Amino acid sequence: MAGEARHPILADTSSLIAVANTTQWELLKDAIHLTTTNVCKHELQNHVNSNKYPPEGSREHYLKQGSQRVLENLDEGSSPWSCVTAVPRPHGSDAGELSLKQELSEHGSSYQIVSILDSAARRSIRRLIDDNGYDIDVVGPPYLLYILLDNDLIEKPEFCEATVGMIQTEGWTGYEVVKNAWTSIPVDCSEILDDEYDDALPPK
C-alpha cells in the first residue's frame, strides 16, 4: 500500500465491502487505483473484530468477509490502493462519510470519482463538489465494476451478473436506491438478464 498517495477514485467503507464480496474481486483489487481514508479503514477493522464467528450467510459474515479482503489488500505492499489520513478525525456512525468530505475539502482536485451509496451523503458531497467547482462524478459501488468493463477487462455479461449480484446481496431495494446504484453506468443489462432480475436493474 502506498501510504498517502491519492488516486483518482475515492471510496467509502460500504463501497469497498460491496466490491470485495463480488465475483470480480480478484481482478478488481489489482486493476483499479483507489484511495480511502484511515477512518474507513478503522470501520473495516471494527467489522472484522466485532463478531469472531458470524453465521455463514448472515449480514455480519458478509461484512466481516468483505472487510477482511479489503484490509488485506490495503496492507499489501504492491497494492494499487492507498489510505489517507483525515484530520481532525471524525467520529460517530457516519464518520467514514464525513472523512470523505474532509478529504475532498482539502484535496478535491486529486479526485475524479467518489464512490458512495448513501443518498444523503451523496447529496452532501455533491454540494461540496459544486461549491468548490470540482469536476468529480459521484457514483455508486457498481461503477467500480463498470471501470473493469470500460477497460475491456471483463465482458458485458460478467459485468451485468456481478452488478446485479452486488445489488441483490446488499439488499438494495426501492426505486431511488437502485437508481443510485446505476448512476453514470451507460450499460443496458436488461437484454442479457432474465425478468427475475428486473428489481435490480435501473428504472426505465
Sequence-distant (6+) residues with CB within 8 A of 24 are 145, 148, 154, 158, 162
Region 121-139 average pLDDT: 95
Share of the chain above pLDDT 90, in %: 79
Residue 57 region, left (φ>0) first, then alpha (ψ -120 to 50), else beta? left
Residues 39-65: b if buried by 16+ CB within 10 A, e if exposed:
bbbebbeebbeeeeebeeeeeeebbbb
Q: Where are the domains of the chain?
A: 9-200
Q: Is the pLDDT score of 166 beyond 90?
A: yes
Q: What is the mean pLDDT of residues 174-189?
A: 92
Q: Residue range 169-187: average pLDDT?
A: 91
Q: 5 pLDDT exceeds 80?
A: yes
Query: Average model confidence (pLDDT) for the chain?
Result: 93
Question: For residue 4, is pLDDT > 80?
Answer: no
What is the per-residue pLDDT across 63-77, written as a single tens digit (0 to 9) for each?
A: 999 999 999 999 998
Asked if residue 97 lies in contact with residue 121, where contact means CB atoms within 8 angstroms, the answer is yes
Alpha-carbon distances, residue 164 vs 8, 77, 119, 157 (angstroms): 25, 32, 19, 11
What's the average model confidence in pLDDT over 2-9?
A: 82
When pLDDT is averaged across residues 96-124 and rounded to a whole number, the result is: 94
Residues 86 and 97: beta-carbon distance below 8 Å? no
Supply the pTM of this predicted model.
0.94
Note the pLDDT of residue 117: 81
Distance (Å, whole) CA 28 – CA 166: 14
Asked if 35 and 73 count as a contact pair (C-beta separation under 8 A), the reply is: no
Average pLDDT over residues 137-149: 97
Rounded-to-integer distance, Cα 92 and Cα 151, Å = 37
Is it true that the peptide bond before 88 is cis, omega within 30 degrees of 0? yes
Where is average pLDDT lowest: 1-10, 18-27, 187-196? 1-10
Rounded to an integer, the average pLDDT of 120-138 is: 95
Cα–Cα dist 12/158, whole Å = 24
The number of residues making up the chain comes to 204
Q: How many CB atoms lie within 10 A of CB 81?
A: 23
* Res 3: pLDDT: 55
* Nearest-10 crossing angle of helices 38-50, 59-74: 130
Nearest to 117 by CA among 138, 137, 133, 102: 138
